[in-house]
Amino acid sequence: DSMTMRRFMSRIGYIVNLKNGWIRADLYRQTVQRNWYKLDKISDGMNSLGVATILADPYSYAGFFQALQGFHTDPYTATLKANNRSYKSQGLQLKSQFSNAFGPVQFKQEVGSRFHYDHADRFQHRNTYALTNDIPQRIANGILGAAGNRKDASRALSSYARSTAIWNKWSIQLGLRGEFIQSERIDWGSNDKNREGNDLNERENSTFSVLPGLSLCRAFD
């Protein structure tokens, strides 16, 4: 197999220090492009088996296993799959914290929000190789996108608030977190390398959750 990968990551942060606390903002973005070209299946002309299937039971698939080893390779062929994918994640995060006191009781307040987007874009194909004379030779180029031609994306908004009161060795904390996530998939199918939408398949899903929390703690010397 052979893998090539390019990755770029950037983040810009800014903090405002105040008398009783601080506010911070972070803007981030990451992109990854990778192509993992690896052995996917072995075919005898009638059936194609994955490498994991062959190795799990080499006695039942003796011919396939020998082809993997380079023996008795005719008429077996090998399929190499280009797992060509790109990933992106980006967003904005805001967070603040403040502390104050009322007599013997210390209070700490914390709030935060994040706006996030990410996607995984698959554009994959398979090439076929003959295994004659123990030397792999490419005999057919796969159609671009035929082994995976879709994009999965998500957009998310999450926020939380947390309040802590401390008195002597006791502390009580109240918290609340909310999340809204919207995900989608766009699948162009296996015969649309230009992504013109001739056989487009789309779906979406949304989730919303609210998570409250409460804790009571006592410190021991």
pLDDT in tens, the chain (221 residues): 899 999 999 999 999 999 999 999 999 999 999 999 999 999 988 899 999 999 999 999 999 998 888 777 778 899 999 999 999 999 999 999 999 999 899 999 999 999 999 999 999 999 999 877 667 889 999 999 999 999 999 999 999 999 999 998 999 999 999 999 999 999 999 999 999 988 899 999 999 999 999 999 998 87
Within 10 A of 44 (CB to CB), how many other CB atoms are there? 14
Terminal Cα distance for the chain, rounded: 58
**To which residue do tokens 């002309």 refer?**
45
3-state DSSP: the chain helix, strand, coil percent, rounded to 5?
Answer: 10, 70, 25
Among candidate residues 7, 5, 4, 12, the one with its CA nearest the CA of residue 30: 7
Q: In angstroms, how far is CA 24 from the centroid of its own chain? A: 26
195 φ, ψ (degrees, to nearest 5): 55, 55
Q: What is the dihedral of CA 189, 194, 200, 205, to 10 degrees?
A: 90
The whole-model pTM stands at: 0.80
Cβ proximity of 142 and 129 under 8 Å: no
CA distances from 188 to 84, 122, 155 (A): 15, 10, 21
Q: CA-CA distance, 141 to 131, in Å (whole number)?
A: 15
